[in-house]
Amino acid sequence: MIPPIEILGLCAAFFTAFSSLPQSIKMIRTKHTRDVSGVTFSMMFISHLLWLSYGIFQMAISIIASNVVAITMVSLVLILKYIVWKDEELS
């Protein structure tokens, strides 16, 4: 049986990993990025990268997996903001 504390950690990892998914979906649907803070998502990217490094050193699979997913999700937002729809910021 999985210890309750491990279940708690897995739930936290799941929600952390997918926390930027709603923003990604909204950006894709509306094709607008003006109201998205690039600084916030850049800080989230760095934070998840540091957590991923920590997870690798600790060999903690749940931390590694959740942060790989989180980095992917945050990267999507940053790519949409700065590469795909970057010209919107100029208008």
**Looking at 42-46, 49-53, 63-67, which range is the least confident one?**
63-67
70: CATH: 1.20.1280.290
* CA 70 to chain CA centroid, nearest Å: 3
- Number of folded domains that form the chain: 1
What is the domain extent for residue 62?
4-90
Could you report the per-residue pLDDT of 10-36, keeping only the tens digit for each? 898 889 889 989 988 998 898 888 888
Whole-model pTM: value is 0.82
CA distances from 46 to 29, 40, 42, 63, 67 (A): 26, 10, 6, 15, 11
Confidence of residue 51 (pLDDT cuts 50, 70, 90): very high
Could you report the per-residue pLDDT of 61-84, keeping only the tens digit for each? 889 989 999 999 999 999 999 988
